[in-house]
Amino acid sequence: MPPKWYWPIDMNEVPKIVVEPPGPRAMEIVKADSTLIMQSFGRWYPLVIRRGYGPVIEDVDGNLYIDFNAGIAVMNVGHSHPRIVEAIKRQAELFTHYSMTDFYYELIVKHASMLRDIVPISGDKRVFYTNSGTESIEGALKISRGHFRNQRPYVIAFLGAFHGRTYGSMALTASKPIQRFGFNPMLPNVIHVPYPYPYRCPFGRDLTEEECGEAVLGYMEDWIFGKLVDPSEVSAIFFEPVQGEGGYVVPPRNFIQGLRKMTDKYGILLVDDEVQSGFGRTGRWFAIEHFGVEPDIITMAKAIAAGLPLGAIVGRAGVMDLPRGSHANTFGGNPVALAAGIEVINIINEEDLLTNAQRVGEYIKRRFMEEMDRTELIGDVRGLGLMIGVELVRNRKTREYASKELEQVLLESFKRGVAVIGAGKSVIRIAPPLNIPMELAERAVDILIDVIRKVDRERVK
């Protein structure tokens, strides 16, 4: 069944460009922003949003775009879903805050019991609420080290990973040098190992996916545990089941399964960062379900509450055992965010958005794969559900990154009414709301492919 359309615009009129973007009102706001806001982040193009309608956004000059970003994998149930709007209003009239780490309210147990039912960890579980992805990672770091009462001071993370920007999570992050540049010293005892990026396997491009997964696991055993640190000193391995910022990289199945075997063998905790890949993004509740593995801890945020700041750490009860007084926060489990979060789970279930994500995701991937026969610029197409990466390369043989071409594709798509950004060095990152109708996905893909062909034709080879 196609997803229900609630919004007061005609889907057939989208995208609609009434003023060439960026329009005059957008430019005024961008100018004011540059004099008021620290510009420590890189925006891709001057999109100034005024309103959202499910999988569509409107800018301040009245242009309508198909949203292939979902506010960076946050708006999984689309913008301004009426059930979310209603839940927020209802809760705002009752109370908007009452510090859950000091007092109690019913929404906490209601939401936590719904989370318990969807999180792929069997047995008894416990939840800790946070306000963001980075705070979920910080908490998971404390839980991992704290669980072993500091007898296992090391943690392992992967090159290409993105886990956040605060000091603990930044120490795990390794997707671009600028994210760490100038901020040393980092949190100590974090060891980075290569990630099995099948298209660019760090152990040789000729390796198959499986061989690449094996090579990384072998490196960890032989070179990290064999030469650098005894595994009994490692508390946790943090990983993304699909690397997000790193380029929407899907690892081989044997790698994730091998990580589970390794962590079981050495008593290390396996921490699954689903901040970007969770909440239906990949067509399952959590991406790890594609690999048939259960982690010990899952971190989440982004899509959990339809844009309200909420995150969570969910883990096996035996692991979530920090002592009283050792970890808390003021805003975690905010009641308005929890009310929205309850509706997010209801909507994904009742509107069957996991099926829509699989169906539309397969279609989008197939279209770009077919296009590889026509356009040299596309080097690789990969993804699960609606977490899709299209990697652009200047040359298929050398796999030279096409970073400049990527920028051109994104800017031109924006001007034609498709809002989409990049990941990694030259990957188009496709992550629309999970309730995007097939017709809109088709229209957006038509535009993107047309733009890629144009950039391919006009580039200097």
Ligand X SMILES: Cc1ncc(COP(=O)(O)O)c(C=O)c1O
Choosing from 59, 273, 412, 456, the residue that interacts with ligand X (CB under 6 A) is 273
Chain position whose Cβ is nearest to ligand X: 133
Is 301 a binder of ligand X (CB under 6 A)?
yes
Cβ nearer to ligand X, comparing 163 with 382:
163
**Could you tell me the smallest distance in angstroms from the CB atom of residue 424 to ligand X?**
12
CA separation for the pair 362, 143 (Å, rounded): 37
Helix, strand or coil for residue 49? strand
Helix, strand or coil for residue 130? strand
Closest CA to 175 of 190, 157, 160: 160
Q: Residue for token digits 């009245």?
A: 62
**Could you tell me the smallest distance in angstroms from the CB atom of residue 100 to ligand X?**
19
Count of other CB atoms within 10 angstroms of residue 71: 19
**Could you tell me the smallest distance in angstroms from the CB atom of residue 163 to ligand X?**
5
- Give yes or no for a contact between 330 and 129, defined as CB atoms under 8 angstroms apart: no
Is 426 a binder of ligand X (CB under 6 A)?
no
Cβ nearer to ligand X, comparing 59 with 240:
240
Choosing from 155, 156, 268, 275, the residue that interacts with ligand X (CB under 6 A) is 275
Closest CA to 425 of 448, 413, 407: 407
Contact range with ligand X by CB under 6 A, out of 78-86, 156-164, 183-191, 393-401: 156-164
Is 200 a binder of ligand X (CB under 6 A)?
no
Q: Residue for token digits 């829509």?
A: 356
Choosing from 59, 61, 67, 240, the residue that interacts with ligand X (CB under 6 A) is 240
Pairing of strands 234-239, 421-423: unpaired
Nearest 5°: phi and psi at 314? Answer: -125, 130
Closest CA to 49 of 37, 35, 33, 65: 65
Is 163 a binder of ligand X (CB under 6 A)?
yes
- Give yes or no for a contact between 458 and 405, defined as CB atoms under 8 angstroms apart: no
Choosing from 63, 76, 134, 426, the residue that interacts with ligand X (CB under 6 A) is 134
Choosing from 133, 295, 379, 432, the residue that interacts with ligand X (CB under 6 A) is 133
Is 245 a binder of ligand X (CB under 6 A)?
yes
**Residue 367 burial class via C-beta count within 10 angstroms: exposed 0-12, middle 13-18, buried 19 and up:** middle
Contact range with ligand X by CB under 6 A, out of 145-153, 259-267, 271-279, 438-446: 271-279
Cβ nearer to ligand X, comparing 70 with 393:
70
**Could you tell me the smallest distance in angstroms from the CB atom of residue 24 to ligand X?**
31
Task: Give the interface with ligand X as residue ranges (CB under 6 A).
Answer: 132-134, 137, 162-164, 240, 244-245, 273, 275-276, 301
